[in-house]
């Protein structure tokens, strides 16, 4: 067993914990809960002491808030983008039990934006983007679907991998370096129909937060970013139903009380039906192409101190050709969460978490029967204490998580040949994170996370030579510790409120990642091969430093922000030259490890108020890798490097239920490896590659537009949504291939494959 | 030049609207890429087996150069040496663009050969081991399942027995010739053997069943009376890995494993070979 940090380091942790000030003073507090008109808790609403705006807080995931105010009476201002702002008076009688109901402002579209500027000025976390499903701006929809991940990619520093991919890249990282959580459970390959849809049905979501800069110590296992998605709880007061039909899919949801306002439910189901139409086509009747997903959540308010929630997600994609080819992949997750409030200061959240991602592909033709499959299963327990001392100047999170991971990196058959590699690991994390205000205008967030990753026996482990050949095989018994990696991950963030309208932010974070997706191409696919940290493969370790500035006009209408970052990642893995995913079942034999680095600066100008809202974002960035044995061991441009990234988003409310939105995106073309010469071997033309990713694909740009009309009837609401994807029909690069051309004197040609031209869409939704 | 292709021909308007998003808008274009030029790199293709040897020397060309790859007389020395240090020099023959020996080379299984080539003062060398030969039990033609679903396609199948002892991994380089013209090559291992028999499959097109629009320049078109020759070479792992990495190179954007020392491209293959010939008649297709 190799433990990098022994007792001495653990002592440091204890000392650090002890040094964190948890001193409660006798200051008075104002407490309450913020709900929607339907009764659902509102998460992330900001509450300010109107007479002293520098004093503020935000609601937690149950809608609760607690704000230290010494004045005996005054006024609170409660606001959240997408809702009417409310002022409410408090005095000695109601200061412990303020109840606020927010009313949404035309909220019937997925709305993506960073939080209102006031939040951005106050928020300590640098590089955190909160996406509220019922917040602000309406972004264009694709196929009538409002896609949280597609919308994310309109923010600076976040880019889509390519058309037909639900993968997103954050600050020079790859999509495999992101952690996607749904109610604490991990989702892999969060896409349907090869990425045309994301795995998240917007009807089932409460909110989502993308941590692209500083990741709080409660989160880890991602060397690039964490997307934390919270699913929706059912309305505890009345039954509500929704049904929507679009060009390619339909969905329905239901929610309401089961037992009084104690127990409520939410359930949604979505399915594509393109394959129903395929049956009528002689040419395509043998094709299979469908997906479904379902979300369900039970919420049990046991009493004022205890809430129990049980959530479930399941989704499956099927693609193939009858009797020839079959491909499917699934995500199933479930979490049981117990929220317990001990007193005004201390609360806890305990979760049992399970997730299962699996994929399968098979081909049977020309006397060959080939199958490939793999899975990743998580079984976990998470416990987090939240401490809010009475002085209102501290917010402390202390917790632990323990997870057993069962991962099959490959299981294939080629006729009678059958090989598989399945391994287990035990992951344990302990964290402490404190947000506090040492002085009025300065907020600090200090965090420390200990990551312990133990590789477990029960499967062979190896020693390899420089060629990747096995020199020794270790056979540990099941459950035996093969190797333990211990890493301390410090997190730091500071927000200096220079004035009412300006703030400066600084952040540093170290994160580790132990599940690695290995890809031949720059784009994720549902059949990517995954592996875990082992005796040979080391944890990815990412260090990121960010510095940002946010300013807003005094009327809060316009905001400007700029953030710069530098990130270094150790133990980045790629295939050896001449190897592909099925070159060997022992995955370490086909990989080489190295380093990555990314740096850039993000600019954003927003208009927040009025009929017209929107933003312009620009990112200038670099992303590079260096891996011994690849590109002559020199630094090379990473395939996900996009030097310039621009997004322009505009939304206009015409009134009377009509809304319009448009977005234009531009990226520098993807870095690609193209040949610099050619030669023949036998009768084949072989390309000579002088350097990795030394060329660029053509630039990517497109304009999307959508209109929606909402009509509120006494008994139901009807929403039409019309969208046009890629309005000016620009074909963007999806794949670049180098092919023989017998008609050309050079004998070769460069082909660019594109997926989507102009795509109209329409959807109709009823809610009642 | 733009060559948008509409791959779907669907009569149903509904189906068209549904699938337009996924299929009909996909396009492919020929684009101009500003290729970088590099200094030419020598390429050596060399083989020894069945008592013969041949070496072809070329060099890389820039991507936008003419597609001519004839062997050239560039080497001042081409020597193949066996395990007993018996060396054979090869000489350039203008008519075929190859370096050939003036004598038969004894290539028995188990023997390792070394090649040394000198070009413009630079030395390049490689080595390869002759493996035990296989036995081709049978070669026949069969209609097998293919794409699109439900369709069958003509395939030449060969059943191979490897009599080598033990569970060693064995490697093969396979070629199909139609009327002495190379149709297709492949590499394989004995991992997929069923009861010791390895199956090789070469897809074919029957000339009389081709549509007027089909590509007639393909190298796998057969007609009644054509002679097909299947060659199976037993090769060593080093050679197999060269061809394997060459196969996946286009996909991964990487060059084949270096097989020569000295910085040139290409390979040196020592082999033992088994050959089977069969005449094609459509009436005999299973």
Task: Render pLDDT for B60-92 as a digit per residue (tens, 0 to 9).
Answer: 998 888 766 788 898 899 999 999 999 999 998
| CATH code (residue A753) | 2.40.170.20
Residues in chain B with CB shorter than 8 Å from the CB of A755 are: 25-26
Question: Judged by CB atoms within 8 Å, which residues 55-84 of B form the interface with A?
Answer: 58-67, 69
Q: Is residue A181 part of a domain?
A: no
Mean pLDDT of chain A: 83
Residue A19 has a pLDDT of 35
Q: Which of these, A572, A585, A571, lies nearest to A423 by C-alpha position?
A: A585
Residues in chain A with CB shorter than 8 Å from the CB of B157 are: 367
Query: Are the CB atoms for A211 and A219 separated by under 8 Å?
Result: yes
- Chain A residue at shortest CA distance from B194: A416
Q: Which of these, A369, A448, A472, lies nearest to A414 by C-alpha position?
A: A369
Q: Is residue A500 part of a domain?
A: yes
Residue ranges in chain A modelled with pLDDT below 50: 1-27, 105-117, 136-137
Residue A147 has a pLDDT of 80
Within this chain, do residues A377 and A518 fall inside the same structural domain, yes or no? yes
Q: Which of A105, A130, A160 represents a domain boundary (last residue)?
A: A105
Q: Is residue A594 part of a domain?
A: yes
Question: Does B255 contact A575 at a Cβ distance shorter than 8 Å?
Answer: no
Residue A122 has a pLDDT of 61
On the CB side of A533, CA atoms within 13 Å amount to 26
C-alpha–C-alpha distance, residues A216 and A130, integer Å = 14
Q: Is the dihedral of CA B8, B14, B15, B17 positive or negative?
A: positive
Domain with CATH 2.60.40 in chain B: 42-129
pLDDT above 90 coverage of chain B, percent: 41
- The nearest CA of chain B is from the CA of A279 a distance in Å of 10
Question: Does B145 contact A286 at a Cβ distance shorter than 8 Å?
Answer: no
Provide mean pLDDT across the span B97-122: 92
Residue A82 has a pLDDT of 55
- Among the residues of A405-444, which ranges form H helices? none
Neighbour tally for A106: CB within 10 Å: 16
ipTM of the complex: 0.87
Q: Is residue A145 part of a domain?
A: no
Give how many domains chain A has, as a whole number. Answer: 2
| Residue B242: alpha-carbon gap to chain centroid | 11
Query: Are the CB atoms for A340 and B119 separated by under 8 Å?
Result: no
Identify the DSSP state of A313. E
Residue A27 has a pLDDT of 47
Q: Is residue A219 part of a domain?
A: no
For the segment B133-176, what is each residue's pLDDT rounded down to a tens digit?
888 888 888 887 766 666 778 888 888 887 765 678 899 999 99
B28 and chain A in contact, CB less than 8 A:
yes
Residues in chain B with CB shorter than 8 Å from the CB of A738 are: 250
Higher pLDDT, B153 or B188: B188
C-alpha–C-alpha distance, residues A608 and A553, integer Å = 10
Residue A132 has a pLDDT of 57
Residue B120 has a pLDDT of 92
Q: Which of these, A580, A457, A587, A475, lies nearest to A531 by C-alpha position?
A: A587
Q: Is residue A282 part of a domain?
A: yes
Mean pLDDT of chain B: 83
Q: Is residue A503 part of a domain?
A: yes
**This prediction's pTM:** 0.80
Residue A233 has a pLDDT of 87
Ramachandran bin of A221, using left for φ above 0, alpha for ψ from -120 to 50, beta for the remaining angles:
left
Question: Judged by CB atoms within 8 Å, which residues 81-100 of B form the interface with A?
Answer: none
Residue B121 has a pLDDT of 92
For the segment A499-550, what is each residue's pLDDT rounded down to a tens digit?
888 999 999 999 999 999 877 655 667 777 899 999 999 999 999 999 999 9
Write down the number of H helices and E strands in chain A. 4, 49
Token couple for B269: 């293959």
Within this chain, do residues A94 and A233 fall inside the same structural domain, yes or no? no
Residue A282 has a pLDDT of 67
Question: Judged by CB atoms within 8 Å, which residues 104-123 of B form the interface with A?
Answer: none
Domain containing residue A63:
24-105
Question: Does B255 contact A196 at a Cβ distance shorter than 8 Å?
Answer: no
Q: Is residue A131 part of a domain?
A: no
Residue A566 has a pLDDT of 95
Identify the DSSP state of A112. -
**CATH number for the domain running over B42-129:** 2.60.40
C-alpha–C-alpha distance, residues B268 and A673, integer Å = 27
């Amino acid at each position: 067993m190799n433990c990098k940090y022994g007792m001495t380091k653990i002592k440091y942790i204890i000392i650090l914990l002890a040094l964190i000030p948890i001193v409660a003073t006798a200051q008075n507090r104002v407490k309450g809960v913020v709900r929607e008109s339907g009764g659902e808790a509102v998460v992330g609403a900001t509450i300010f002491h109107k007479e002293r705006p520098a004093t503020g807080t935000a609601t937690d995931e149950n809608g609760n808030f607690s704000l230290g105010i010494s004045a005996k009476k005054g006024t609170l201002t409660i606001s959240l983008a997408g809702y009417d702002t409310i002022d409410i008076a408090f005095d000695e009688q109601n200061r412990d039990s303020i109840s606020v109901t927010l009313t949404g402002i035309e909220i019937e579209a997925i709305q993506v934006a960073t939080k209102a500027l006031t939040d951005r000025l106050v928020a300590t976390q640098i590089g955190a983007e909160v996406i509220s499903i019922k917040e602000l701006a309406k972004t264009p929809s694709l196929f009538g679907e409002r896609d949280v991940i597609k919308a994310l990619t309109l923010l600076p520093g976040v880019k889509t991998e390519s058309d037909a991919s639900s993968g997103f890249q954050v600050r020079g990282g790859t999509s495999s370096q992101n952690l996607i959580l749904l109610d604490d459970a991990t989702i892999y390959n969060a896409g349907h129909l090869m990425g045309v849809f994301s795995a998240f049905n917007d009807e089932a979501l409460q909110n989502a937060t993308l941590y692209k800069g500083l990741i709080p110590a409660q989160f880890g296992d991602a060397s690039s970013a964490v997307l934390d998605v919270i699913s929706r709880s059912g309305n505890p007061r009345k039954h509500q139903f929704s049904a929507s039909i679009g060009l390619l899919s339909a969905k329905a949801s239901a929610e309401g009380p089961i037992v009084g306002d104690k127990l409520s439910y939410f359930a949604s189901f979505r399915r594509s039906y393109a394959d129903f139409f395929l049956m009528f086509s002689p040419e395509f009747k043998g094709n299979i192409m469908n997906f479904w997903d379902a979300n369900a959540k039970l919420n049990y308010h046991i009493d004022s101190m205890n809430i129990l929630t049980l959530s479930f997600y399941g989704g499956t994609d099927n693609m193939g050709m009858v009797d020839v080819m079959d491909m499917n992949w699934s995500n199933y997750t479930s979490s049981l969460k117990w929220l317990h409030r001990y007193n005004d200061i201390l609360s806890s959240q305990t979760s049992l978490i399970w997730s299962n991602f699996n994929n399968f592909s098979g081909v049977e033709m020309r006397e060959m029967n080939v199958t490939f499959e793999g899975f990743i299963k998580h079984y976990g327990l998470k416990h987090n204490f939240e401490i809010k001392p009475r002085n209102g100047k501290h917010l402390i999170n202390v917790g632990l998580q323990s997870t057993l991971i069962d991962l099959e990196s490959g299981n294939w058959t080629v006729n009678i040949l059958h090989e598989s590699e399945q391994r287990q690991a035990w992951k344990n994390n302990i964290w402490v994170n404190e947000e506090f205000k040492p002085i009025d205008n300065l907020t600090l967030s200090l965090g420390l996370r200990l990551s312990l990753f133990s590789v477990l026996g029960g499967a062979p482990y190896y020693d390899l030579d420089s060629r990747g050949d096995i020199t020794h095989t270790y056979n540990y018994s099941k459950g035996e510790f093969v190797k333990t990696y211990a890493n301390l991950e410090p997190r730091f963030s500071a927000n200096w409120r220079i004035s009412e309208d300006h703030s400066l932010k600084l952040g540093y974070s170290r994160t580790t990642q132990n599940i690695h997706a290995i890809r031949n191409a720059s784009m994720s696919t549902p059949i990517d091969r995954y592996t875990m940290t082992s005796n040979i493969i080391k944890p990815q370790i990412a260090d990121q430093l960010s510095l940002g500035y946010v300013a807003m006009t005094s009327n809060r209408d316009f905001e400007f922000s700029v953030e710069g970052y530098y990130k270094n990642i150790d133990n980045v893995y790629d295939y050896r030259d001449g190897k592909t995913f099925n070159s060997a079942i022992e995955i370490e034999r086909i990989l080489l490890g190295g380093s990555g680095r990314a740096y850039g600066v993000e600019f954003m100008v927003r208009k927040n108020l009025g009929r017209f809202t929107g933003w312009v974002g620009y990112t200038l960035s670099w992303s590079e890798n260096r891996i011994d044995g690849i590109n002559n061991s020199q630094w090379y441009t990473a395939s996900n490097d996009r030097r310039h990234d621009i997004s322009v988003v505009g939304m206009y409310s015409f009134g009377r239920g009509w809304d319009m939105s448009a977005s234009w995106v531009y990226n520098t073309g993807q870095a690609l490896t193209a040949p610099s010469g050619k030669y023949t071997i036998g009768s084949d033309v072989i390309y000579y590659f002088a350097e990795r990713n030394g060329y660029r694909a053509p630039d990517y740009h497109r304009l999307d537009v959508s209109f929606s009309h909402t009509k509120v009837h006494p008994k139901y609401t009807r929403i039409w949504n019309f969208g046009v994807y890629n309005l000016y029909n620009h074909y963007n690069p999806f794949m670049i291939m180098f092919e023989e051309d017998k008609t050309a004197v050079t004998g070769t040609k460069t082909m660019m494959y594109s997926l989507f031209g102009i795509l109209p869409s329409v959807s109709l939704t009823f809610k009642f | 030049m733009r060559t948008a292709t509409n791959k779907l021909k669907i009569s149903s308007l509904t189906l068209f609207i549904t699938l337009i998003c996924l299929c009909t808008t996909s396009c492919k274009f020929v684009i101009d890429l500003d290729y970088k030029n590099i200094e030419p790199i020598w390429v050596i293709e060399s083989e020894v087996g069945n008592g013969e040897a041949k070496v072809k020397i070329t060099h890389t060309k820039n991507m936008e150069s003419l597609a001519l790859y004839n062997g050239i007389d560039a080497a001042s020395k081409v020597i193949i040496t066996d395990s007993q240090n018996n060396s054979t020099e090869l000489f350039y023959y203008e008519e075929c663009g190859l370096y050939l020996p003036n004598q038969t080379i004894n290539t028995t299984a188990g023997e390792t050969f070394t090649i040394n080539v000198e070009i413009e003062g630079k030395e390049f060398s490689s080595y390869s081991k002759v493996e035990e030969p296989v036995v081709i039990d049978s070669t026949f033609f069969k209609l097998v399942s293919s794409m699109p679903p439900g369709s069958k396609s003509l395939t030449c199948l060969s059943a191979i027995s490897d009599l080598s002892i033990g569970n060693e991994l064995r490697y093969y380089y396979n070629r199909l010739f139609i009327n002495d013209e190379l149709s297709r090559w492949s590499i394989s291992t004995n991992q997929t053997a069923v009861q010791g028999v390895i199956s090789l499959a070469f897809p074919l097109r029957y000339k009389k069943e081709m549509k007027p629009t089909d590509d007639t320049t393909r190298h796998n078109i057969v007609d009644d009376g054509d002679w097909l020759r299947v060659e199976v070479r037993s090769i060593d792992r080093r050679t197999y890995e060269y061809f394997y990495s060459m196969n996946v190179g286009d996909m991964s954007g990487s060059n084949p494993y270096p097989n020569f020392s000295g910085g040139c491209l290409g390979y040196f293959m020592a082999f033992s070979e088994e050959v089977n010939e069969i005449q094609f008649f459509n009436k005999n297709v299973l």
